[in-house]
Chains A and B, each alone.
Chain A
């Protein structure tokens, strides 16, 4: 439970002439809950996109568990044990709740195009059956088991966010990246989310969290990194970061 699980060094990215990340160094210790905060446009989501491979890194190193992953496609990074949720919910719209979670199990299961032909109509293959029971387990953990056969997009907003977490958890991550998981949630839902994140963390999943709700950040995280204009302006335990004059200035100024 010690040593960095994720390290980035000199990570930079620009879009045209706009520099979104400028030489960011960051280390995420294994086992903890690490929050990234900062004003809009500070580069938080871009950082997630670079770490997970949704965007190609401009320059810099990204190491996951000691391995340089900067040039791996995102599905390979997921297979190595990291998975994310999205700021704007991106569930698979044509699928049920259960199917969304089953998709998360894609990289932990086998079976090609012709595999279903080898099953009998009355018995699923052992791997599909195992995947389904695992998916139900994950849904139970996030409290959505009763919704399994509903269309994912029909869930209320807060439950869609929880389903995104379930889908990511199904991929068996050691590092879970949550991009504003409480956005749009009411206080009750936020409270449930808090419990869920703590529970997941206790299952030995390191959590990297982008979040705007300060109450949530203060309560959950051991380390907070503050970004502004693509640079780290402060880092440390939440209570110390909160008093940092540069942070106060970034938020107020």
Chain B
């Protein structure tokens, strides 16, 4: 059996993967969000509030966390419709900060002192279960009508519109779905740490989530999975360097992004790893 410490590392890594996937989904439609921490906060606070103050069963609270994340994702999607690239990054960053400050100023949610007394509910099985479901979803999405619309929007938005893709609808769907996943991640997080405060979901969180996905590569959802797994377990492997740990961590990320700017799993590597790999690689 795994030690409690190992299980805890796995749960946090799993939640990081969930968050990285919440970034990947809108990113696969060309929508870069620097506010996934905000959606995570909404999911965490919603679910925790329900289990603590209303004794709502955990699965329902989890669903509510995802729902709130999704609804707010939809709302954030609207102003984001007219924005692209760096401007979208800045607006979503502003959204994340807004959520953080909102919870700092809401006494019902503990304000700056945080929200404590959350019942322990999240187990490794919840996290793995959600990950399996997400992996299945993303695998199927890639070869589906909506998955292609995402890719088309990322490749060339004007051409996608000209070919009949309703870009407004597709973007809002992508944002909302990303919000649902982040909300679920937040709800799982809250019921494992048992204490949440707004600082846990600030800009640092949002940027790390982005780093995980970009480090792993945006060519497929496996990139987000690999990136988040490696980067959230890496600090554990670097314990032996003690005080130098964070510097070494930063250095490793830097070197990796210099060597493989397209991320760990780029299209060429994915083609070689896939079952149809030989044929695809022959053309690559």
Do A and B come together as binding partners?
yes
Chain A residues in the interface with B (C-beta under 8 A): 52-54, 73-75, 78-79, 83-84, 86, 90-95, 99, 102-104, 106-113, 115-117, 119, 121, 124, 127-128, 131, 149-151, 154, 167-168, 171
**Is B149 in the interface zone, CB < 8 Å from A?**
yes
**Chain B residues in 8 Å Cβ range of A99:** 148, 151
**Chain B residues in 8 Å Cβ range of A131:** 145
Cα–Cα distance between A111 and B141 once the two chains are bound (Å) = 11
**Is B177 in the interface zone, CB < 8 Å from A?**
yes
**Chain A residues in 8 Å Cβ range of B164:** 75, 78-79, 83, 104, 106-108, 171
Q: Known contacts A75-B161, A94-B155; can you find 6 more A-B pairs with CB under 8 A?
A: A73-B166, A86-B162, A95-B155, A116-B144, A116-B147, A167-B163
Do residues B156 and A90 form an inter-chain contact, with CB atoms below 8 A? yes
Cα–Cα distance between A78 and B135 once the two chains are bound (Å) = 33
**Chain B residues in 8 Å Cβ range of A149:** 276, 279-280
User: In the complex, what's the smallest C-beta–C-beta distance from A241 to chain B, in angstroms?
Assistant: 29
**Is B267 in the interface zone, CB < 8 Å from A?**
yes
Cα–Cα distance between A149 and B155 once the two chains are bound (Å) = 18
Give 10 nearest A-B pairs by CB, closest first. Answer: A107-B164, A116-B140, A78-B164, A116-B144, A92-B155, A90-B159, A111-B145, A74-B161, A75-B166, A113-B146
- Classify chain B's interface size: 35 or more
**Chain B residues in 8 Å Cβ range of A116:** 137, 140-141, 143-144, 146-147
Do residues B162 and A109 form an inter-chain contact, with CB atoms below 8 A? no
**Which residue of the partner chain B has the closest CB to A151?**
B283
Interface residues of B in 153-183 (CB under 8 A from A): 154-156, 158-167, 173, 177
Q: With A92-B152, A94-B267, A95-B155 given, is the CB distance from A104 to B144 under 8 Å?
A: no
Majority-rule SS of B interface residues = helix
Neighbour of B167 across the interface among A75, A167, A168, CB < 8 A: A75
**Is B136 in the interface zone, CB < 8 Å from A?**
yes
Cα–Cα distance between A128 and B147 once the two chains are bound (Å) = 12
**Chain B residues in 8 Å Cβ range of A73:** 161, 166
Do residues B165 and A103 form an inter-chain contact, with CB atoms below 8 A? yes
Q: With A95-B148, A95-B155, A106-B149 given, is the CB distance from A113 to B163 under 8 Å?
A: no
**Chain A residues in 8 Å Cβ range of B219:** 94
Instruction: Jot down 18 A-B pairs with beta carbons below 8 A, ordered by A.
Output: A53-B161, A54-B162, A73-B166, A83-B162, A86-B162, A92-B155, A93-B156, A94-B267, A103-B148, A103-B163, A106-B152, A107-B164, A107-B165, A110-B145, A113-B141, A113-B177, A116-B144, A117-B136
A-B residue pair count with CB separations less than 8 angstroms: 114
Do residues B163 and A128 form an inter-chain contact, with CB atoms below 8 A? no
Cα–Cα distance between A93 and B166 once the two chains are bound (Å) = 19
Q: Which of A90, A116, A150, A154 has the most CB of B within 10 A?
A: A116
Do residues B165 and A75 form an inter-chain contact, with CB atoms below 8 A? yes
User: In the complex, what's the smallest C-beta–C-beta distance from A203 to chain B, in angstroms?
Assistant: 19
User: In the complex, what's the smallest C-beta–C-beta distance from A161 to chain B, in angstroms?
Assistant: 14
Cα–Cα distance between A112 and B154 once the two chains are bound (Å) = 18
Cα–Cα distance between A151 and B151 once the two chains are bound (Å) = 14
Cα–Cα distance between A92 and B150 once the two chains are bound (Å) = 11
**Chain A residues in 8 Å Cβ range of B250:** none
**Chain B residues in 8 Å Cβ range of A119:** 140
Do residues B163 and A168 form an inter-chain contact, with CB atoms below 8 A? yes
Cα–Cα distance between A124 and B152 once the two chains are bound (Å) = 21
Cα–Cα distance between A54 and B163 once the two chains are bound (Å) = 11
Cα–Cα distance between A121 and B143 once the two chains are bound (Å) = 11
Interface residues of B in 129-144 (CB under 8 A from A): 136-137, 140-141, 143-144
Neighbour of A128 across the interface among B144, B165, B166, CB < 8 A: B144
Cα–Cα distance between A190 and B147 once the two chains are bound (Å) = 34
Do residues A128 and B145 form an inter-chain contact, with CB atoms below 8 A? yes
